[in-house]
Structure 1
Amino acid sequence: MTHFTTACVIRRSKLGMVLMAGIFGLLIVFSNLTDYSSNYEFVGHILSMDTTRPNNELRYRAITSPMLHHRIYWMIITFEITYTVCCLLGAYQLYKKLHAPRKEFHEAKKYAIVGLMIGIFVYYFCLQVVGNEWFDMDTSKEWNAMTWTRNVIDYMMTALIFLALKIDH
């Protein structure tokens, strides 16, 4: 595949989508580490449920321990670092196999797939499922990331589906 073909464009598009997800992860991790207190405040408010509806019957679910807030926040940061490393490593593997036979290129997708799945776990399961459904995040006017996470998940899910398809021969 040394000339400009549709397969060549598709392979480069897959590489680009994974690389963009990895760069996004780098920016998220950088933000979480350099502005720890602001992002920690967000996590603390969600877990404490202190900005949800008044007289909320679900407030018994709240976690009010600052120590647990820090531990949960560091767990999220660890998952984000793992997602970022996997996506960047996956992008590198795809780059190395851009001109390889179809089977080799397909096998080079594994780190990228793992990275995107971890990203989906963080932003869909941790933030939307647990944050929204358990900690009632969507009722907070100040500390609500539903729209943001939906956009991130839409991108990652689209990238994952496109990446996994065997249309790059």
Structure 2
Amino acid sequence: MNYRTTDQIIRYSKVILMTYISFFGLIVMYSNFTDYPSNYEYMSHILSMDTTRDNPNLSYRAITSPMLHHRIYWLIITLEVIYTGLCLLGTYYLFRNINASADAFHEAKKFSIIGLLVAIFVYYICIQVIGVEWFNMDESQTWNAKDWARHIVDFILPLLIYVAIRIER
């Protein structure tokens, strides 16, 4: 009852894993659009640094303008929409080329790879690097997404490597 080869299973696994990250992106987008106030409050506290240790040497980094909070939050939402759209498109192209030649399947990975790179930018650069290192998010007892973002990057980075690597024949 062995209907699929290992190469076919590998191709399907790449499509399925891209579907998972696309679904995650859709859920995050839904949350940001339907619960804007709660997510905005989170961004506002992180950017204001009002729940971290009061350190005069670091407090100059705080952004206290609500207008800038909204703009930065909308930038994050826009990046999430972009990565989700690219991952969905990438999933579609991978699925469409599931039985194509190895070269065609490999070329179909473009949107998936770009989408995953944008996702890494959002969750690693924006949240872990800027949020934690610049705005000291990790010091907040209430508004700390360091571990949440790390878990996402821990999924996305290996997925990027797995999708990008050319192991299909």
Q: TM-score range by the shorter chain?
A: over 0.9
Q: Name the structure 2 match of 1:29.
A: 29
- Structure 2 gap segments, 5+ residues each: none
User: Which amino acid in structure 1 is aligned with residue 113 of structure 2?
Assistant: I
Deviation at 1:56, TM superposition (A): 5.2
User: Which amino acid in structure 1 is aligned with residue 161 of structure 2?
Assistant: I
Distance 1:150 1:56, change over 3 A: farther
Q: Name the structure 2 match of 1:89.
A: 89
SS at match of 1:50: coil
SS at match of 2:58: helix
User: Which amino acid in structure 1 is aligned with residue 126 of structure 2?
Assistant: C
Q: Name the structure 2 match of 1:74.
A: 74
Q: Name the structure 2 match of 1:101.
A: 101
Structure 2: distance between partners of 1:46 and 1:34: 20
Q: Name the structure 2 match of 1:111.
A: 111
Q: What is the root-mean-square deviation in Å for CA atoms of aligned residues?
A: 0.8
User: Which amino acid in structure 1 is aligned with residue 25 of structure 2?
Assistant: G
Alignment deviations for residues 90-136 of structure 1 (CA, whole Å, 9 cap, x no partner): 00000000000000000000000000000000000000101111101
TM-score for the superposition, normalised by structure 2: 0.97
For the pair 1:139 / 2:152, whether they are aligned, the reply is: no
Deviation at 1:57, TM superposition (A): 2.7
Give the ranges of 4+ consecutive aligned residues of structure 1 lying more than 3 Å apart after TM superposition: none
Q: Name the structure 1 match of 2:41.
A: 41
Alignment deviations for residues 45-97 of structure 1 (CA, whole Å, 9 cap, x no partner): 00000000134531111000000000000000000000000000000000000
Structure 2: distance between partners of 1:98 and 1:7: 10
Deviates further, 48-57 or 159-168: 48-57
Identity across the alignment (%) = 54
Structure 1: distance between partners of 2:25 and 2:34: 14
Q: Name the structure 2 match of 1:50.
A: 50
User: Which amino acid in structure 1 is aligned with residue 101 of structure 2?
Assistant: P
User: Which amino acid in structure 1 is aligned with residue 151 of structure 2?
Assistant: N
Structure 1: distance between partners of 2:154 and 2:104: 28
Structure 2: distance between partners of 1:19 and 1:87: 8
Structure 1: distance between partners of 2:14 and 2:146: 27
Q: How many residues align?
A: 167
Structure 1: distance between partners of 2:8 and 2:56: 54
Structure 1: distance between partners of 2:160 and 2:13: 12
For the pair 1:153 / 2:153, whether they are aligned, the reply is: yes
SS at match of 2:77: helix
User: Which amino acid in structure 2 is aligned with residue 167 of structure 1?
Assistant: I
- Structure 1 gap segments, 5+ residues each: none
Q: Name the structure 1 match of 2:127.
A: 127
